């Protein structure tokens, strides 16, 4: 499921609830912008990839390699 913008989180909350209703023990989401807000549930895990777009833009601007992002290099 891809949600490009989260204003209130209602869709995400409903999706997470549907998954946990079907025996999911955790719901893992990612972000593309740093999110300082705390997550109120131990069943919702945020894996941040907020630095990835910044690194990609930097590589492009500096004529580096975007491929290096998947190779773990900078």
Contact (CB, 8 A) for 56 and 50: no
Angle (nearest 5°) at CA 48 between 10 and 41: 45
| 8 Å CB contact between 40 and 53 | no
Q: Note the pLDDT of residue 38.
A: 60
Q: What is the pTM of this model?
A: 0.52
Task: Decide if pLDDT at 6 tops 70.
Answer: yes
- pLDDT per position as a tens digit, 18-39: 988 999 888 888 877 766 666 6
Range list of β-strands (E), the chain: 27-31, 44-48
Residue extents of the structural domains in the chain: 10-70
């Amino acid at each position: 499921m891809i949600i490009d913008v989260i204003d209130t989180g209602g869709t995400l909350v409903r999706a997470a609830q549907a998954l946990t209703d079907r025996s999911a023990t955790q719901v893992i989401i990612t972000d593309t912008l740093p999110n300082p807000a705390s997550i109120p549930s131990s069943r919702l895990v945020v894996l941040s990839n907020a630095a990835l777009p910044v690194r990609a833009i930097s590589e492009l601007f500096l004529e580096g390699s975007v491929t290096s992002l998947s190779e773990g290099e900078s």
